[in-house]
């Protein structure tokens, strides 16, 4: 390792923040192009409806001021979006950019309205008359599976996208031999990633050609380019996708949005730039949702508290399409693979089903399919602990993996970790917090602690261990420019993760230059090598970061070769802080770069003083771990739950920047907090989401999110470059379990079994037997 010691692992301030906090960020909504039109979609107000030919009448809309066009599917021929995931038995449903004969969920777009101004487009969209013929619909997997249920897609019998039973070991034998079986149902909530910035894009046709430039609020510019090429027929090399500043995504902006395709098609059709900026109601109703699993889980244990087997039926509510880029299976299928969690359990059985319903499709969201099965398993473990008379933390300790590498029953190879130590740290951090007397006599205190493992930094190997087909390698380009500055081009832009800081730290450390001399460019498909997957799945630190580290090592050798040629110095050369030293002589990287680019004398000695390196990388699988402990107050007078203390213990191996690790963990925990107590899209019987504004969809605000105490363990992965693991999901997997376990603990005298999330006041009071109904 170079002598620019401390770049990796330093608590550096994020270089992004000054600009972001001063409001100088430039999002899609800040961009304009000459002659740009604003787009607004006409969306279905029904969960299911048919449209006869000519059902969309735009005459009144077209007469309104500023309106340039109203385009429907018939005006914009294209190839529909299709999931590219390859899993045997998964049935797929192509999804059009604009629906034609029928709509399958409330919010599905059927027309795009283009006008000079946004307000004009909104008014015109409201003036488009659509002769909807409402049709029967199914909102839940239960409804969708019922005999005679309306088919969401005629060709998918029983609305069943996927059904599979997976057995590992001998679960039947283990359950038969168990002293204790705990059955735990859990109906998980449907959540919205609800990023501060909704989706949106701006498409501009190339002057005089068939190309297109698309600025999009996306996590994966190359992924979107691929989808645009497939749908529009424009070859990829003529498509340029640029992700400007993106205000959060959390998985939502991995898939290509049908709206993005429609905007690109519309821009081409009218020959003008077209911009779409999603509104909040639009985002909550029409954008993909997340989570929403029905789980029936059972644990088999011995009297001594040994976890013998886990069995679960995981039913995903897929929404109206199998969905593109990341399949609806991202929920129950991935959840099944992580059923063992951090525990050394030998026998696992998972029955996985995914059903189409007339709801918005399911896309990835932080924690993906792992969150809700983890919550069910942890709730069941707490009930087992009570039944066995063993403290919940102790029951977990007895079953945690302690020897590495550990091959889990489902085939994941946990490379390293601090499972027991993390649990102990979390317990320590909340020690004493449960003792203080509550403010009111009818307020109870409860404690929940949970340990988790996070499949982090998926390369292709990690994807395989999750039995998921997923090309997850990256290429990066690293170059020293003539003035000695370092430019790193990567295909994984940041939506708030701070890549311009952390990736620069990696390069600085490995190359031997100052962090501030490294610039990261990540947002432009014309400027960056292909990233097959983009930013997602906690993969950037290991895949992109690993590629950059390897590239920097090679570039460093080239710089030293240039220095050796210039100095004609046989003594060993060192490179640190941008200065090469050899014997008594010094050369700056700037001088090296100047010479490499412009010094003919150097060329005489060194044939190719090339300071551009590209590097491919596809890392081995690595697994992060951690623990979360929550102490809550449950108010029996109101049903309100207040988190008194929240301990967050994270082990992601070598940390690139502990401040950013904590920021990531805090954000993930905040989202888990919302999932545990507040957030629910909640379709009503009319097939429309109740949570259609931030007044109805209770996203926690900063004042609601509890203070957190952090602790770190560092178990470097033996398999990755520098021992780095990913850590983006972390708290989003485990925080709901910690909080739900704590609430159940507070209501243990009433034998409260958490069966639904979120834990609303009505559900808490109903669970305590204090309310006749608990919806």
Binding footprint of another protein on the chain (CB under 8 A): 118-119, 122-123, 126, 279, 281, 440, 442, 635, 637-640, 677-678, 684, 690, 693, 695-696, 698, 700-701, 703-704, 760-762, 765, 770-773, 775
Task: Give 338 or 754: the residue with its C-beta nearer to another protein.
Answer: 754
In whole angstroms, how close is the CB of 116 to another protein at the nearest point? 13
Nearer to another protein, 431 or 762 (CB): 762
Q: Rounded to the nearest whole angstrom, what is the least distance from the CB of residue 37 to another protein in the complex?
A: 15
What's the closest the beta carbon of residue 442 comes to another protein, in angstroms? 8
- Quick one: residue 384, left, alpha or beta (phi over 0 = left, psi -120 to 50 = alpha)? alpha
The residue among 582 and 691 lying less far from another protein, judged by its C-beta, is: 691
Shortest distance in whole angstroms from residue 759 CB to another protein: 10
Kindly state the smallest distance separating residue 39's Cβ from another protein, in Å: 14
In angstroms, give the least distance from the CB of 94 to another protein.
31
- CA–CA distance, 548 with 123 (Å, rounded to integer): 49
Look at the block and give the residue holding tokens 């190997």: 461
Smallest separation (angstroms) from another protein to the CB of 40 = 9
Using alpha carbons only, what angle is made at residue 208 by residues 205 and 212, rounded to the nearest 5 degrees?
Answer: 25
Give the C-alpha separation, 93 to 356, whole Å.
10
DSSP code, position 243: -
Q: Decide if 195 contacts 252 (C-beta within 8 A).
A: yes
Cβ proximity to another protein, 203 vs 678, nearer residue: 678
User: From the CB of 768, what's the least distance to another protein, in Å?
Assistant: 11
Measured between alpha carbons, how far is 336 from 350 in angstroms, rounded to an integer?
A: 6
Of residues 163 and 688, the one with the C-beta less far from another protein: 688
Minimum distance between the CB of residue 118 and another protein, rounded to whole angstroms? 6
Could you tell me the smallest distance in angstroms from the CB atom of residue 703 to another protein? 4
Closest approach, Cβ 706 to another protein, in A, equals 12
Closest to another protein by CB, 388 or 676: 676
Q: Which is nearer to another protein, 40 or 264 (CB)?
A: 40
- 634 with 745: CB under 8 angstroms? no
Tokens of 268: 């081409």
Distance of CA 532 to the CA centre of its chain: 16
Q: What is the rounded distance in angstroms from the CA atom of residue 16 to the CA atom of residue 403?
A: 40
State the minimum distance, in angstroms, from the CB of residue 66 to another protein. Answer: 12
Output 70 or 768, the one with its CB closest to another protein.
768
Instruction: Decide whether 491 or 758 has the Cβ nearer to another protein.
Output: 758
SS3 203: strand
| CB-based burial label for 86 (10 Å; 0-12, 13-18, 19+) | exposed
Which is closer to another protein, CB of 586 or CB of 686? 686
Cβ at position 686, least distance to another protein in Å: 11
The residue (of 66 and 658) whose beta carbon lies closer to another protein is 66
Q: Helices in 721-769 by DSSP H: which ranges?
A: 730-746, 761-767
Tokens of residue 440, six digits: 């009111």
Tokens of 423: 């649990």
- Sign of the dihedral defined by the CA atoms of residues 503, 504, 505, 508, in that order: positive
Closer residue to another protein, CB minimum distance, 208 or 441: 441
Q: Is 339 exposed, middle or buried (0-12, 13-18, 19+ CB in 10 A)?
A: buried
* Residue whose token pair is 């990755």: 720
Please tell me the total number of residues recorded for the chain in this structure: 775
Distance CA 755, CA 603 (A): 72
Q: CA-CA distances (angstroms) from residue 707 to 447, 642, 669?
A: 16, 11, 11
Provide DSSP, 428-497: HHTTTTTTSPPSSTTEEEEEEEEEEEEEES--HHHHHHTT------EEEEEEE-TTS-EEEE-S---SSS
Residue pair 445/644 in contact by the 8 Å Cβ criterion: yes
C-alpha distances (whole Å) from 77 to each of 39, 363, 506, 684 are 18, 25, 46, 34
Q: By CB neighbour count within 10 A (0-12 exposed, 13-18 middle, 19+ buried), where does 527 fall?
A: middle
Beta strands in 457-563 (DSSP E): 474-480, 486-489, 518-521
- Smallest gap from Cβ 53 to another protein, in A, equals 30
147-168 as b/e: b if 16+ CB within 10 A: eebbbbbeebeebbbbebeeeb
Q: 640 or 658, CB closer to another protein?
A: 640
Nearest to another protein of 649, 677 (CB atom): 677
Q: What are the structure tokens assigned to 247, written together?
A: 């205000």
């Amino acid at each position: 390792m170079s002598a620019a010691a401390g770049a990796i692992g330093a608590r550096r301030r994020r270089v992004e923040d000054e600009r972001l906090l001063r409001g100088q960020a430039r999002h899609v909504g800040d961009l304009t192009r000459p002659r740009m039109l604003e787009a607004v979609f006409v969306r279905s107000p029904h969960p299911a409806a048919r449209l006869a030919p000519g059902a969309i009448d735009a005459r009144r809309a077209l007469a309104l001021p500023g309106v340039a066009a109203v385009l429907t599917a018939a005006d914009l021929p294209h190839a529909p979006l299709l999931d590219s995931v390859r899993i045997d038995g998964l049935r797929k449903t192509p999804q059009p950019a604009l629906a034609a004969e029928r709509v399958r969920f409330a919010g599905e777009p059927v027309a795009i309205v283009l006008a000079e101004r946004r307000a004009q487009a909104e008014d015109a969209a409201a003036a488009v008359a659509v002769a909807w013929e409402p049709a029967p619909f199914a909102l839940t997997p239960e409804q969708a599976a019922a005999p005679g249920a309306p088919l969401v897609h005629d060709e998918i019998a029983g609305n069943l996208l996927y059904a599979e039973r997976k057995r590992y070991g001998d679960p039947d034998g283990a359950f038969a031999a168990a002293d204790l079986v705990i059955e735990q149902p859990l109906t998980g909530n449907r959540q919205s990633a609800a990023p501060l910035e909704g989706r949106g894009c701006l498409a501009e046709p190339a002057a005089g050609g068939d190309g297109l430039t698309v600025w999009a609020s996306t996590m994966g510019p190359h992924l979107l380019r691929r989808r645009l090429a497939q749908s529009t027929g424009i070859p990829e090399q003529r498509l340029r996708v640029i992700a400007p500043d993106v205000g959060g995504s959390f998985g939502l902006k991995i898939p290509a949005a049908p709206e993005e395709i429609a905007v690109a098609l519309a821009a081409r059709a009218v020959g003008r730039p077209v911009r779409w900026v999603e509104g909040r109601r639009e985002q909550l109703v029409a954008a993909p949702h997340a989570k929403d699993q029905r789980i029936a889980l059972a644990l088999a244990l011995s009297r001594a508290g040994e976890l013998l087997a886990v069995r679960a039926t995981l039913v995903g509510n897929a929404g109206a399409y199998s969905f593109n880029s990341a399949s609806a299976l991202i929920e129950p299928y991935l959840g099944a693979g992580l059923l063992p969690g951090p525990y050394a359990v030998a026998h696992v059985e998972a029955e996985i089903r995914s059903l189409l319903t007339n709801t918005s499709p399911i896309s990835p969201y932080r924690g993906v399919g792992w969150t809700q099965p983890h919550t069910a398993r942890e709730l069941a473990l707490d009930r087992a602990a009570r039944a066995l008379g063993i403290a919940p933390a102790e029951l977990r300790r007895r079953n945690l993996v302690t020897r590495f590498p550990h091959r889990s029953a489902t085939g994941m190879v946990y490379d390293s970790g601090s499972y027991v130590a993390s649990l102990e740290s979390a317990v320590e951090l909340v020690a004493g917090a449960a003792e203080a007397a509550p403010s009111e006599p009818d307020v109870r205190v409860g404690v929940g602690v949970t340990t988790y493992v996070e499949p982090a930094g998926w390369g292709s190997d990690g994807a395989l261990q999750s039995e998921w087909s997923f090309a997850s390698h990256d290429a990066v380009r690293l170059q020293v420019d003539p003035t000695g500055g370092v430019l790193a081009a990567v295909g994984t832009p940041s939506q708030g993760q701070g890549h311009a800081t952390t990736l620069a730290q990696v390069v600085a450390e490995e190359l031997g230059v100052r962090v501030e001399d490294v610039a990261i460019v990540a947002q432009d498909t014309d400027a960056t090598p292909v990233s097959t997957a983009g930013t997602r799945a906690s993969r950037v630190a290991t895949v992109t970061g690993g590629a950059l580290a390897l590239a920097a090592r090679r570039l460093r050798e080239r710089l030293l070769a240039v220095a050796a040629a210039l100095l004609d110095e046989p003594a060993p050369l060192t490179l640190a802080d941008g200065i090469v030293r050899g014997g008594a002589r010094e050369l700056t990287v700037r001088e090296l770069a100047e010479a490499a680019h412009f010094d003919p004398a150097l060329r005489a000695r060194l044939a190719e003083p090339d300071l551009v390196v590209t590097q491919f990388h596809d890392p081995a699988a690595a697994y992060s771990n951690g623990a979360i402990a929550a102490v809550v107050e449950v108010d029996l007078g109101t049903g309100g739950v207040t988190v008194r203390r929240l301990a967050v213990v994270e082990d992601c191996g070598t940390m690139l920047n502990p401040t950013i690790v904590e920021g990531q963990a805090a954000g993930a925990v905040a989202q888990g907090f919302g999932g545990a107590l507040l957030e629910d899209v909640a379709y009503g019987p009319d097939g429309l989401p109740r949570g259609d504004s931030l007044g109805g969809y209770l996203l926690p605000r900063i004042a609601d999110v509890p203070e957190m105490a952090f602790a770190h363990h560092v178990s470097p992965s033996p398999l990755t470059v520098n021992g780095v693991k990913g850590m983006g999901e972390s708290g989003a997997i485990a925080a709901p379990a910690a909080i739900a376990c704590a609430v159940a603990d507070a209501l243990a005298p009433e034998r409260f079994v958490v069966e639904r999330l979120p834990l609303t006041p009505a559900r808490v009071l109903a669970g305590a037997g204090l309310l006749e109904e608990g919806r």
